[in-house]
């Protein structure tokens, strides 16, 4: 798994609590950081051929096998979106509060998202909507 090496390089040691099979295409897993015991949900984003940015899905199935966005109530402390480009790597570490503010997590007031694009610093010439998204995302991005 590419995710494990990227995570170790960027955030240090951790314990894998579980692999999220429903998002295995994105190497979905939940980890606990050794440094501060925070619980992190991780996804490896994918470069798509026709649009700038990196696409990632994040959802879970309920007891009726229906897909739902992650909920603020039962979600983790940080959402980690990993980028592994040909010659560049980076990580978005989105705190729970920021994920709520940007409508990624669902709650009683908002639906939440089941997928979205992330735009690292090297993504240029974006349309206005993507630029707005990138502007808040870059506050939580680290390239290495």
For position 8, which CATH number holds?
A: 3.40.1350.140
Mean pLDDT, consecutive 10-residue stretches, the chain (144 aa), reads 91 95 90 96 93 92 89 88 93 96 95 96 95 98 92
**Domain encompassing residue 54:** 2-143
Question: Which pLDDT value is given to residue 49?
Answer: 87
Question: Which pLDDT value is given to residue 48?
Answer: 87
Question: Which pLDDT value is given to residue 144?
Answer: 83
E strand segments, the chain: 14-19, 29-33, 39-44, 46-47, 54-57, 59-61, 67-69, 78-84, 89-95, 115-118, 141-143
Average pLDDT value over all residues in the chain? 93
Question: Which pLDDT value is given to residue 14?
Answer: 97
How many domains does the chain fold into?
1
Question: Which pLDDT value is given to residue 80?
Answer: 97
């Amino acid at each position: 798994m590419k995710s494990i090496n990227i995570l170790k390089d960027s955030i240090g040691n951790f314990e894998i609590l579980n692999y999220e099979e429903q998002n295995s295409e994105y190497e979905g897993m939940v980890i606990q950081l050794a440094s501060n015991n925070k619980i992190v949900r991780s996804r490896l984003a994918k470069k798509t051929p026709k649009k700038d940015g990196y696409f990632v899905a994040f959802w879970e199935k309920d007891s009726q096998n229906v897909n739902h966005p992650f909920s603020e109530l039962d979600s983790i402390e940080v959402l980690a979106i990993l980028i592994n480009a040909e010659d560049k790597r980076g990580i978005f570490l989105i705190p729970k509060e920021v994920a709520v503010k940007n409508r990624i997590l669902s709650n009683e007031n908002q639906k939440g998202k089941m997928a979205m694009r992330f735009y690292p610093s090297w993504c240029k010439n974006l349309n206005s909507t993507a630029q707005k998204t990138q502007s808040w995302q870059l506050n939580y991005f680290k390239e290495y």
